[in-house]
Structure formats: structure tokens, C-alpha cells
Amino acid sequence: MTAFKGRKVCAIGEAMVEMAPVEGGLYRRGFAGDTFNTAWHMAQWLGPAAEVGMVTRIGRDSLSDAFAAEMAADGLGLSGVFRDETRRMGLYLIQLDGVERSFHYWRETSAARHLADDESALRAALAGASLIHLSGITLAILSPEARERLFGLLAEARATGAVVSFDPNIRPRLWTSAAALRDTIARMLTLTDIGLPSFDDEAAHWGDTSPAATIERFRQAGVAEVVVKDGAGPVTCLIAGRAETFDTPPVTGIRDTTGAGDAFNAGYLAARLTGLPPQAALRAGQALSAVVLRHNGARATASAMADLPRLV
């Protein structure tokens, strides 16, 4: 079973300005991004029991300053937040159809696309990490050369005892080709200890016929611990070499499905980091996902997080 050498968490990826719909056709400005959502929820749930930070790149404008200030106020580490003199944060807008969401993005010149340009800075940011979390979006926004740089540093970190978790979170439009998508993610699986895929992505891009097929493909790539999310359907896990399936409790009062998978990742990883077994961790992931589903936007409120029972 996956073991952690400590409780320092580094999430690598892109944080963006989020415009989330509220009443009256208005929008609320916030900050979000798949790995940032996971890191933020982990930091709120774990509190001082863990050191949670984000490895990303932002600008030197007022919105980037506001993001950094919010991170610090919410207890996230800033040592891995690099500043860019010429680029700014990307932006996305959520469009809802009922509770289901679609997105409009402005990210082509995002500073986060260069988060892996400086190898020495990135190595320093990852030093001492017990858990490193990233996603397919993290890989997709990087240049091929930057991906290779990141792969090398992940291998170094694993050699010193870091656990790497990975959510493929596939966004085809971010990739230059379907082949590049598949080849890069297949490479990433060889560096992954905990896999957190969503079955719809795996079925669409690898032709998996069932969550069990996804489990087997990840296992063959060397991933020891796998949790396959399937929306409101059951969760399928690879635990100690055996596949198990767990029902997902129904959720009432859903307002927005944005960020539900990121929140599941946060609950699962936070619970595992504190020593809970995978079975209990997936229940924590489901509980946190349910909280986010009842909120607009990708993150829960701080008060809703405070109402959750502490993991430690």
C-alpha cells in the first residue's frame, strides 16, 4: 500500500481567473484550476496538519497579486509560485445548462504555460515533497521540452520517496494531436503511484469498455493505486492488487458540477496522506465532492469546509 514520508503536498498546474455565474445573470470573480482546486480543498480540510502548496506561474499584475494574497490567506504555500514579467493568468467563464457546465477559455498567453521553464527553480519547489499532484492539463499546457524537464524531476522526486498522483483530466483541445495526448499520458503513467482517472475520458480516448478495463491498463503501466471516478456511478478502485467497486451516495441540492472531480481528488488524497486506508479515503472524496456540487463554481466556501469533520 502507498506510504507517505511526510505531509508536504505540491500541486503542479495552472491557476486561472474564474468567472462563475450567480443570480441575475451576473458573474462572481474567483480563482480556480483543476490542480489548484485540489490543493485548496486539501489545505482547508487538513489545516496545519499538512503543508500544501501550488507550483505554478503567474504575472505581476493586480489579479495575479490578488491570487497570491488569497493563497496566503487560505494557508497555501507560495514558494512554488513563480512570477512572469510579460504574461498574466488565464481566464475562463462557466456557462451552465441546468447544473451541467461548459467553459469558455482565454489561456493562450497564460504564464502557467512556462511553469517548467526553469529547471533549478522547479527542482527547488519540489524538494522534500511527500506528495506531488498533477493532471493532464498540467502536461497539455507545457511545451514538449518542458514536459521532458518535468518528467525528469518527477523521476528524481520519486527516487527520494515522493508519491506522485495523477488525474489525466483530458481536454483534447489543449493537445496538438490525439497521438501526442495518448503518448504523453502513457509516459506519465510510468511515473505515477496514485491514478485518479475519470471513466468517460478513458473510454473516449483509449476505448476502455469498463472501469475494470481502465484499472487493468493503469496496473499494467505500473500504477499501484487507482481510483476510477464515474460521475454518479460507482467508484472502482485498485487496492492492494485487487479491484473493488463502491457505490456513490446520491447527492441532493446540486447547483453546479464544476470541480466535483477535483474535490474528490482532494478528499481522497488528504485522507490517504493522514494514513486512512483507500476505502475510507474514497468516502472522504465522495463527501467533499458532494459539498462542491452544492456550490457555484469549482470550490466550496470556507464555511462549508469548516463544517466537514476533521480528518486529523
Chain segment 122-153, per-residue pLDDT in tens:
999 999 999 999 999 999 999 999 999 999 99
pLDDT at position 309 is 84
Contacts of 207 (CB under 8 A, 6+ apart): none
pLDDT classification of 1: cutoffs 50, 70, 90: low
Question: Does 179 or 22 have the greater pLDDT score?
Answer: 179
Q: Do you know the residue count of the chain?
A: 312
In terms of DSSP H, where are the helices of 94-250? 119-126, 136-140, 144-159, 178-189, 199-206, 211-220
- Domain spans, the chain: 8-306
Which amino acid appears at position 80 of this protein?
G
Chain segment 219-275, per-residue pLDDT in tens:
999 999 999 999 999 999 998 889 999 999 999 999 888 899 999 999 999 999 999
Catalytic residue among 34, 167, 230, 262: 262
Chain segment 150-197, per-residue pLDDT in tens:
999 999 999 999 999 999 999 999 999 999 999 999 999 999 999 999
Of the candidates 9, 91, 86, the one whose C-alpha atom is nearest the C-alpha of residue 55 is 9
pLDDT at position 96 is 78
Q: Which CATH class is domain 8-306?
A: alpha beta
Has 34 been annotated as catalytic? no
Chain segment 86-114, per-residue pLDDT in tens:
999 999 998 877 777 788 999 999 999 99
Cell of 307: 463544517
φ and ψ of 235, to 5 deg: -95, 130
Contacts of 14 (CB under 8 A, 6+ apart): 33, 35, 36, 56, 90, 107, 110, 112, 113, 115, 137, 138, 141
